[in-house]
């Protein structure tokens, strides 16, 4: 990590002001004064001081939540609806959600204060896969699932599933497993909507290699270092 970014994230000063502090010779790394911009350090390993005082890096948090339906993924809602932040400790109110699940959807979602982590999991160029279970109020024909994986145009945008598999089906209801990677707005619901298939429930059960597992609805847990590495392993 670049030294000026480390100082800014630690709250010493803004990025630009941190650069000025470095150039002024006020920063030392492992006891050696550093005045060159672009110097890189390893947070947690290198010891950084400003004017002789140690600087502690921002603690990064990575939290997995099993979001119940009926919560919004924002800190405040203009309609007064409950938010996902009501499930978390108050001191974690600064975390942001990694992507979104709509008000009616449920399942796995991450919250963090690591902007790079969020970008890597949500930007289409990284292709991080998300797996969903959709309960649909109708029979879903095999040809519809094939259309999902070849691509469907909806409202001027092409939506495509990496996988679409019928898990169970009857005359009045079907359960479909869908795997996506682009993160477009309401993309799973829109796939079914384009075929006139109402979605009764939608649950995200996996992001990358991380599965929802047995995490109860409305509960959270922190991600392990191994899980974080697995999510970033292809980046």
- Taking only the tens place, the pLDDT of each residue in 158-167 is 999 999 999 9
8 Å CB contact between 202 and 106: yes
Point out the catalytic residue in the list 46, 51, 102, 114: 102
The pLDDT of residue 216 is above 80: yes
- pTM > 0.85: no
Q: What is the DSSP letter of 13?
A: S
Does the annotation count 102 as an active-site position? yes
Q: Domains of the chain, with CATH numbers?
A: 3-54 (3.10.290.10), 59-127+209-235 (3.30.70.580), 129-207 (3.30.2350.10)
> Cα 208–209–214 angle (5° rounding)?
115
- Taking only the tens place, the pLDDT of each residue in 98-123 is 999 999 999 999 999 888 899 999 98
By percentage, how much of the chain surpasses pLDDT 70?
Answer: 99
- Taking only the tens place, the pLDDT of each residue in 6-40 is 888 777 888 888 999 999 999 999 999 999 998 99
More confident site: 42 or 228: 228
């Amino acid at each position: 990590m670049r030294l000026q970014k480390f100082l800014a994230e630690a709250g010493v000063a803004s990025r630009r002001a941190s650069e000025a502090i470095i150039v002024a010779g006020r920063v030392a790394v492992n006891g050696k004064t550093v005045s060159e911009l672009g110097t890189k350090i390893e947070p947690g390993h290198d010891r950084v001081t400003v004017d002789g005082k140690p600087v502690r890096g921002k603690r990064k948090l990575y939290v997995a939540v099993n979001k119940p339906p009926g919560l919004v993924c924002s800190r405040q809602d203009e309609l007064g609806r409950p938010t996902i932040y009501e499930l978390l400790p108050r001191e974690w109110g600064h975390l942001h959600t990694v992507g979104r699940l709509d008000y009616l959807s449920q399942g796995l979602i991450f919250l963090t204060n690591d902007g790079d982590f969020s970008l890597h999991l949500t930007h289409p160029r990284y292709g991080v896969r998300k797996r969903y279970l959709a309960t649909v109020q109708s029979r879903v024909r095999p040809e519809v699932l094939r259309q999902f994986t070849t691509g469907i145009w909806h409202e001027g945008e092409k939506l495509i599933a990496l996988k679409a598999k019928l898990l169970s089906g009857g005359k009045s209801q079907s359960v479909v497993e869908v795997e996506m990677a682009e993160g477009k707005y309401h993309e799973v619901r829109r796939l079914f909507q384009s075929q006139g298939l109402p979605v009764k429930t939608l649950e995200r059960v996996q992001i990358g290699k991380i599965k929802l597992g047995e995490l109860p609805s409305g509960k959270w847990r922190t991600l392990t270092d191994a899980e974080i590495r697995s999510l970033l392993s292809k980046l």
